[in-house]
C-alpha cells in the first residue's frame, strides 16, 4: 500500500490533502509542528472513514527531527512512497528595506531547507524501493514565485522560487530512478496562513483582482496534488500546476 507523508498536515491545504489521500487509499502521515489536537483530529477523520493515519510531530527545518520522523514512518507503515512538501510560513507584509536577516533565515529554513531535507529522506527510500522504481513528490510552491509579491513578502516569494528550482533539479536527478517530482503553485487560498502573516481577511480584500474574482479552497489544491502523485500522472515530472484563479 502507498504511504504518504504530508508536512504541515494538520490544517489548511495539508489537512485537505491528507484527507483526500486517505480517501484515495494511501496510508497517511500527518506531520505537525505544534498543534497535536488539530493533527489528531485529521487522523480521527481519516480513521472514521476506515482509513489509516498517524500524526507525527516534527519541525521540518530541523534535520534530526526530519530524519527521526522518516524512521518512525518506516517502522509504522513502511517507507514513504509519496511526499507532499506542504509546511510553509509567511510573515507580515513588509518592504525589502524592512526585512531582517532573522526573518529571511526563518522563512528559508522552513520553506527551503525543510523541503530539501524531506526530499532527501524520501528519495533515499523511494530509490531503494523495488530496486529504484517508485515514488512521487509534490512540492507546494506559490504563485508568489512567479509574481514576486513586491512590497509584501519578497522573502517568501524568493523561498518559493527556490522550491521551483528544487523541483526542476530534483525531477531531473531522480527521473531514471522512477521518481517523479512536481509542484503546485496556489494563489489565494482560504487558509489560516494569511492570519499568521498578519492579515486574516487578505483573500477577500484582493480576490476581485483575480480573473476568476474569487479565492480558492484548500480542497481545490488537494485535488491537483493527489492527481500529480497518482499513476494518472505517470508521465508528468518537473511540471507545475497553477491553482491561482487565472493569475
Ligand atoms: P497554513 O498556515 O494553514 O498551513 C501551514 C502548516 O505548516 C501549518 O500547519 C503549520 O503549523 C505548518 N508548519 C509551519 N512551519 C512548520 C515546520 N517548521 N515544521 C512543520 N510544520 C510546519 O497554510 P496553508 O495555506 O495551508 O499553507 C500550505 C502551503 O501552501 C504552504 O507551503 C504555503 O506557502 C502554500 N501556499 C498557500 C497559499 C494560500 O493562499 N493559502 C498560497 C500559495 C501557497
Task: State mean pLDDT over 83-98.
Answer: 97
Tell me the pLDDT of the chain averaged across its residues.
Answer: 96
Which pLDDT belongs to residue 219?
98
pLDDT per position as a tens digit, 154-212? 999 999 999 999 999 999 999 999 999 999 999 999 999 999 888 999 999 999 999 99
Q: What is the Cα gyration radius of the chain?
A: 17
> How far, in Å, from the CA of 192 to the mean position of ligand 1?
8
146 pLDDT more than 60: yes
Query: Closest ligand 1 atom, CA of 216?
Result: 40
Instruction: Pinpoint the alpha helices (H) of the chain.
Output: 12-23, 36-48, 63-77, 101-108, 114-128, 144-147, 154-174, 193-196, 202-206, 218-229
Closest by alpha carbon to 155, among 197, 106, 104, 116?
104
Domain segments of the chain as ranges: 3-243
The pTM is what? 0.98
Burial of 50 (0-12, 13-18, 19+ CB in 10 A): exposed
Calculate ∠ Cα 177-183-185, nearest 5°: 175
Give the confidence band of 130 by pLDDT, cuts at 50, 70, 90.
Answer: low
DSSP 111: I
- In which region does residue 147 sit, left (phi positive, over 0), alpha (psi from -120 to 50) or beta (all else)? alpha
Query: Closest ligand 1 atom, CA of 85?
Result: 32
Verify whether ligand 1 is closer than 6 Å to residue 191 (CB atom): yes
Task: State mean pLDDT over 111-126.
Answer: 98
ipTM above 0.90, yes or no: yes
Topology of the domain covering 3-243: Rossmann fold (3.40.50)
Active site (annotated) includes residue 115: no
**DSSP characters for 20-37?**
HHHHTT-EEEEEESS-HH
> How far, in Å, from the CA of 204 to the mean position of ligand 1?
19
Task: State mean pLDDT over 60-82.
Answer: 98
Verify whether ligand 1 is closer than 6 Å to residue 226 (CB atom): no
Amino acid at each position: 500500500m502507498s504511504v504518504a507523508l504530508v508536512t504541515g498536515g494538520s490544517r489548511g491545504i495539508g489537512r485537505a490533502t491528507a484527507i483526500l489521500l486517505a480517501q484515495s487509499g494511501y496510508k497517511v502521515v500527518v506531520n505537525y509542528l505544534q498543534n497535536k489536537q488539530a493533527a489528531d483530529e485529521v487522523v480521527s477523520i481519516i480513521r472514521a472513514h476506515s482509513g489509516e493515519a498517524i500524526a507525527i510531530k516534527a519541525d521540518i527545518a530541523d534535520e534530526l527531527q526530519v530524519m527521526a520522523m522518516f524512521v518512525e514512518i518506516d517502522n509504522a507503515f513502511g517507507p514513504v512512497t509519496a511526499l507532499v512538501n506542504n509546511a510553509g510560513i509567511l510573515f507580515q507584509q513588509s518592504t525589502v528595506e524592512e526585512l531582517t536577516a532573522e526573518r529571511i533565515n526563518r522563512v528559508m529554513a522552513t520553506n527551503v531547507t525543510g523541503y530539501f531535507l524531506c526530499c532527501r529522506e524520501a528519495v533515499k527510500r523511494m530509490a531503494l524501493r523495488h530496486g529504484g522504481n517508485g515514488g512521487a513528490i509534490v512540492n507546494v510552491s506559490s504563485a508568489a514565485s512567479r509574481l514576486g509579491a513586491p512590497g509584501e513578502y519578497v522573502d517568501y516569494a524568493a523561498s518559493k522560487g527556490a522550491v521551483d528550482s528544487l523541483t526542476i533539479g530534483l525531477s531531473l536527478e531522480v527521473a531514471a530512478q522512477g521518481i517523479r517530482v512536481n509542484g503546485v503553485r496556489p494563489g489565494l487560498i482560504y487558509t489560516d496562513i494569511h492570519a499568521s502573516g498578519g492579515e486574516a481577511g487578505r483573500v477577500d480584500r484582493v480576490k476581485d483582482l483575480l480573473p476568476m474574482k474569487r479565492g480558492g479552497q484548500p480542497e481545490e489544491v488537494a485535488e491537483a496534488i493527489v492527481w500529480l502523485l497518482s499513476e494518472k500522472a505517470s508521465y508528468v515530472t518537473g511540471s507545475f500546476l497553477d491553482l491561482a484563479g487565472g493569475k
